A and B are shown apart, each in its own frame.
Chain A
Amino acid sequence: MKTRVLGLVALVAVATTTVIGLFVVPADLNQGDAQRIMYPHVASAWLAYLSFGVTALAGIGWLWKRDLRLDSVALAGAEIGVMFTFFAIWGGMMWGRPIWGVFWQWEDPRLTTTALLLALYVGYLLLRRLTDDPERRATRAAIVGVVAAVDIPIVHFSVEWWRGLHQTATIASPDRVLDPAAPGIFILTLLGTVAAFTLTWMYLMIRRYQLAQVSLAREEAARMDLLMSVRNAEVAR
């Protein structure tokens, strides 16, 4: 019930901030209407990182406490994180084409880092699908999730260097909206969108966690059925 209320609030918040971002806030003087893409883009990127942080922490928690509920949290974080990572990349590309002239800017460390992030966690989800035993799955996933999280800063750092060491980039930064000199209404819209998306994220995490728990219970029931049928067959014989 509480979750349903949260979902409703999130829905209203996303709808409101979308309308504000698209129609109410004025277009940026330099970037024009394309600037509007920044609101959901930045919000998605923030939630992608938050999700993967949750996945890594929940993975460590599983290794430590051996509680499968933590593994369900890790799974929820990874799946929802992959979705938001895709949104962040998609938004970045749609912003990049009109502003930079290209969909993909290799000189932008964040774009390349995020693409690798997507690859890391898609691999994580695939690995989970390939393992049937819940505890083995949790352990493998936890370890891969932790190493992926450790890899992210190294990737970011190396890509930043890769670009920075031989030339200074003179590209417009997606972060212009966070510039202290930017008009307050831009910053307010961004914060509002981030808040609305974060509420949605919370709702999705709860629901995805519940699904993971139900699936686990079903797996367990199926295993018990199998066990019972084997035993019954033996008794009959």
Chain B
Amino acid sequence: MSALIIEARIAVAIARKDAVAELRGRHATVSTLFFAAIVLLLFGFALGPDSARLADAAPGLLWLAVVFAGVLAVNRLHLLETDDGALEQLALYPVPRRAIYAGKALGGVAVMLVLGLVVLGAVGVLFAVDIGSAWAPLLATVVLGAIGIGAVGTFYAAVTVRLRAREVMLPLLMLPVLAPLLLGAVKATAAALAGDPFGELGAWLQLLAAFDVIMIVAGAATYGYLLEDG
């Protein structure tokens, strides 16, 4: 039991280190937020100006913007580590690898959470969608979606961070894996906004939760190999 607590402490310490770096330099969050806002604006141009159509498409646009911006965010989060060989240092610490993974993922999830909530608000304003009346299921969807993108992103950022063609390879590897998450999150959001007329909301949230658990387990189990010689 105490070993688990120690691992959790290590994870939190790593996440806090990232958060401090983030707050001092504002590397990832601000630029990706602007990116997400621009994506939303361009979706509006591409599908508008019919406001009924935009409101219909809103769940899909929301999650596409979050996923696209999320790819940028996780990429920047790991870049932080390679600039001065910090990842190699991290790998030298005699702590369980899954604790390091948990710490990096925690940082990623936090960034995704901020991103998801801001984009959700922006979608509410821009596409005239009433998010206030269904805030609880929407919040649950954003939290589960953020965990999934953070967990998968941390893992793939570690795979690609040392590659020359990192900017292309990260989305190329990550986006197809995220397809079920996108599908579940869009469906859950749409169901929540419509007042869940078919009673399917719970099923989609369960799918998201299952995706999150499976990806976290896969990431924690393999992250050590990546630190060692990935």
B-binding residues in A (CB < 8 A) = 63, 116, 119-120, 123-124, 126-127, 130-131, 135-136, 139-140, 142-144, 146-148, 150-151, 154-155, 157-159, 161-162, 165-166
Does B214 lie within 8 Å of A146, measured CB to CB?
Answer: no
Does B198 lie within 8 Å of A166, measured CB to CB?
Answer: yes
Known: A140-B226, A146-B218, A166-B198. A116 touches B179 (CB 8 A): yes
Known: A63-B225, A154-B180. A139 touches B230 (CB 8 A): yes
Contacts of B211 in A (CB 8 A): 154
Contacts of B160 in A (CB 8 A): 127
Query: Which of B113-121, B132-140, B168-176 lies at the interface?
Result: B168-176
Mostly, the A contact residues are helix
| Complex partner residue of A148 from B175, B177, B229, B230, CB under 8 angstroms | B177
Q: Kindly name the residue among B176, B215, B230 whose own CB sees the greatest number of chain A CB atoms within 10 A.
A: B176
Q: Map CB proximity to A onto B138-178 as digits: 1 under 8 Å, 0 otherwise.
A: 00000000000000000100011001110001001101110
Closest to A112 in B: B179
A76 to B: closest C-beta gap in Å? 20
Known: A120-B176, A140-B226. A162 touches B183 (CB 8 A): yes
**B34-86 at interface with A (beta carbon < 8 Å):** none
Assembled-state Cα–Cα distance A140/B184 (Å): 28
Does A161 lie within 8 Å of B176, measured CB to CB?
Answer: no
**For chain B, which range describes its interface: under 10, 10 to 19, 20 to 34, or 35 or more residues?**
20 to 34
A-binding residues in B (CB < 8 A) = 155, 159-160, 163-165, 169, 172-173, 175-177, 179-180, 183-184, 187, 198, 200, 203, 207, 210-211, 214-215, 218, 222, 225-226, 228-230
Contacts of B214 in A (CB 8 A): 150, 154
Known: A123-B169, A165-B198. A143 touches B177 (CB 8 A): no
Known: A143-B225, A143-B226. A119 touches B176 (CB 8 A): yes
Assembled-state Cα–Cα distance A123/B169 (Å): 7
Does A146 lie within 8 Å of B183, measured CB to CB?
Answer: no
Does B226 lie within 8 Å of A139, measured CB to CB?
Answer: yes
Contacts of A154 in B (CB 8 A): 180, 210-211, 214
Assembled-state Cα–Cα distance A150/B226 (Å): 18
Does A151 lie within 8 Å of B177, measured CB to CB?
Answer: yes
Does A130 lie within 8 Å of B225, measured CB to CB?
Answer: no
Does A155 lie within 8 Å of B180, measured CB to CB?
Answer: yes
| Complex partner residue of A165 from B173, B203, B229, CB under 8 angstroms | B203
A159 to B: closest C-beta gap in Å? 7
